[in-house]
Amino acid sequence: MTSLTIHGKTLHWGERTYIMGILNLTPDSFSGDGLMQSDSTPDEFVLDCNAVLEKARYFVENGADILDIGGESTRPGAQLVSAEVEVKRVLPVIKALASNLDVILSIDTYKASVAEEALQQGAHVVNDVWGLHADPDLANVVAKYRVPVILMHNRSSWAHAEIKERLGGRYVGIPYENLVEDVKRELMDSVSIARSAGISGDQIILDPGIGFGKSVEQNLELVDRLDEIRELGFPVLLGPSRKSFIGYTLNLPPDQRLEGTSAAISIGIDRGADIIRVHDFPYMTRVIRMTDALVRRGSN
């Protein structure tokens, strides 16, 4: 596990931290950055592809190596959407980005049909928040197109969701026998599914799933112990940006979590994160580059 080439770009693991920018094509993102706006009725939403392209271009100009495009909110209590709705949201954007920007595109979906259409239109990576457990066909789609896959750990359960208007949703009371060991074991279960479908090990990236079925304290522990996830032998993506564990720790809403996100990112990089998934450019690019300068001096 030394490098991975995606869309003609080689990611050299350990040399620097790569940056994934978040494009939420939803009306109900937890972070308040959803790019769909309400139209005439609460059930109708419109998407301005030009505005999305402008935001994506800004991300790339300010350091994004990867753009992660999602059409369904994964916040606690979010409304599920059909594959048809998801495709309608993401495909025009993926087409536009693929035609206008030279950047790696990731489709954030757990649905095989959505992933396949996105890959056909120019996406290069599949980012599955359910680690190939939600749709039994998704692993085969990834293998068919020979693309990298991000496998996230997820124990989210609406029965354990607690939502506060100012701070948003968090999970409470989801049992773990041993947090890190349970996460490691379940991530390796996802790896087994991937390999059984024919996905090679060098195409697999792991994500411990910060904010997905973990309490505030458990999220804090996972960030601090990320090096133990890295020891599984795969590159690791960390996504703490604006998450509720920061909000509940600092008692701050999503739009006031820059400093908390910066702290989590810095610790995550020190513990071995290879990719950081963020909302806020260029602020987090600066944090990431400064942290790299401090902790990766021997790699450059």
Q: Is 166 a catalytic residue?
A: no
With respect to residue 12, please indicate whether it lies within any of the assigned structural domains.
Answer: no
Contact 183, 210 (CB under 8 A): no
Name the residue range of residue 179's domain.
18-299
With respect to residue 197, please indicate whether it lies within any of the assigned structural domains.
Answer: yes
CATH number for the domain harbouring residue 135 = 3.20.20.20
With respect to residue 5, please indicate whether it lies within any of the assigned structural domains.
Answer: no
State the average pLDDT for the chain: 90
**Residue 210: closest CA among 275, 148, 124:** 275
Query: Which of 75, 89, 170, 243 is the catalytic position?
Result: 243
Separation of alpha carbons 87 and 71, rounded Å: 8
Separation of alpha carbons 229 and 213, rounded Å: 17
Q: Is 277 a catalytic residue?
A: yes
Query: Which of 89, 242, 257, 277 is the catalytic position?
Result: 277
Q: How confident is the model at residue 143 (pLDDT cuts 50, 70, 90)?
A: very high
Top mean-pLDDT range of 16-20, 46-50, 77-81: 16-20
High-pLDDT (> 70) share of the chain, %? 88
With respect to residue 279, please indicate whether it lies within any of the assigned structural domains.
Answer: yes
Question: φ, ψ for residue 91 (rounded to 5)?
Answer: -60, -45
Joined tokens for residue 66: 């990867």
Separation of alpha carbons 184 and 227, rounded Å: 11
Q: How confident is the model at residue 33 (pLDDT cuts 50, 70, 90)?
A: very low
Q: How confident is the model at residue 30 (pLDDT cuts 50, 70, 90)?
A: very low
With respect to residue 136, please indicate whether it lies within any of the assigned structural domains.
Answer: yes
Tally of structural domains, the chain: 1
Q: How confident is the model at residue 76 (pLDDT cuts 50, 70, 90)?
A: low
With respect to residue 170, please indicate whether it lies within any of the assigned structural domains.
Answer: yes
With respect to residue 272, please indicate whether it lies within any of the assigned structural domains.
Answer: yes
With respect to residue 2, please indicate whether it lies within any of the assigned structural domains.
Answer: no
